[in-house]
């Protein structure tokens, strides 16, 4: 896991112990919480926490 604080620039792939299943779980929970649907094609470009937030905000269903 990450030592210290998470920041918007935290790299989920290299600075955390989140594996691919953990990433899917996190994205699914956030999509449900915020009524968003991020296309799986975009998931490879999500690297930082800031990327996660931006993707969720881009795809919030009105």
Task: Please tell me the total count of domains within the chain.
Answer: 1
Domain that holds residue 27: 1-62
Q: pTM for this one? A: 0.85
Whole-angstrom Cα distance, residue 1 to residue 43? 21
- What contacts 39, CB < 8 A, 6 or more positions away? 59
Closest CA to 26 of 9, 8, 38: 38
Whole-angstrom Cα distance, residue 38 to residue 56? 7
Contact call for residues 42 and 21 (beta carbons, < 8 A): no
What is the CATH classification number for the domain harbouring 33? 1.10.1200.10
Query: What tens digit of pLDDT does each residue of 2-57 get?
Result: 567 899 999 998 999 899 999 999 999 999 999 999 999 999 999 999 999 999 99
Q: Which residues pair with 60 in a beta bridge?
A: 36
């Amino acid at each position: 896991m990450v030592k210290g604080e998470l920041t918007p620039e935290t790299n989920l792939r290299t600075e955390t112990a989140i594996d691919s299943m953990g990433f899917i779980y996190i994205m699914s929970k956030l999509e449900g919480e915020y009524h968003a649907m991020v296309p799986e094609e975009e998931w490879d470009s999500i690297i930082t926490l800031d990327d996660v937030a931006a993707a969720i905000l881009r795809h919030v269903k009105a």
